[in-house]
């Protein structure tokens, strides 16, 4: 079955760190651009970061630059998001997503919730 399964979401204090994981199956992960998209409670969607199939190029939005790092391990069909210096405004459901071309995501995970609060 073609799917993405996220894990790692949790309640964390401001300034803390968290690492999200995404396990891919049923498709050629090593050939796919992958992304993280987030959705704050009751709000819309926000692109966070994406990464080239071989991991050589990575991009992230300004609001998380210097704090979040996207990475992947093609031997494990896994995508990661290392989140440091977390802020209350990072509270959201984080979705792992496959991006076939120019952000036109065609596969979404179920999401993992991250809450930043003291």
Q: Which residues bind another protein (CB under 8 A)?
A: 44-47, 59, 61-62, 95, 101-106, 108-111
For the residues of 5-45, what is the DSSP string, one character each?
A: EEE---EE-TT--EEEEEEEESS-GGGSEEEEEEE-TTS-E
Is-contact 72 79, C-beta < 8 A?
yes
Minimal distance in Å, beta carbon 105 to another protein? 6
User: How many Cβ atoms from other residues are within 10 Å of residue 63's Cβ?
Assistant: 12
Nearer to another protein, 7 or 59 (CB): 59
Is-contact 98 105, C-beta < 8 A?
yes
DSSP 63: G
Nearer to another protein, 79 or 105 (CB): 105
Nearer to another protein, 16 or 67 (CB): 67
Minimal distance in Å, beta carbon 95 to another protein? 6
Nearer to another protein, 16 or 113 (CB): 113
CA distance 76 to 5: 13
Minimal distance in Å, beta carbon 77 to another protein? 19
Minimal distance in Å, beta carbon 1 to another protein? 15
């Amino acid at each position: 079955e073609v799917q993405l399964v996220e894990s790692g979401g949790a309640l964390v204090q401001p300034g803390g760190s968290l690492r999200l994981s995404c396990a891919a199956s049923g498709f050629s992960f090593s050939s796919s651009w992958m992304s993280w998209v987030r959705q704050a409670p009751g709000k819309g969607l926000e692109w966070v970061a994406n990464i080239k199939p071989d991991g050589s190029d990575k991009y992230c939005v300004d609001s998380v630059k210097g704090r979040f790092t996207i990475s992947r391990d093609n031997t494990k069909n896994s995508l990661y998001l290392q989140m440091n210096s977390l802020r209350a405004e990072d509270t959201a459901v984080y979705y792992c997503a496959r991006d076939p071309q120019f952000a036109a995501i065609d596969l979404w995970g179920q999401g993992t919730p991250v809450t930043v609060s003291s």
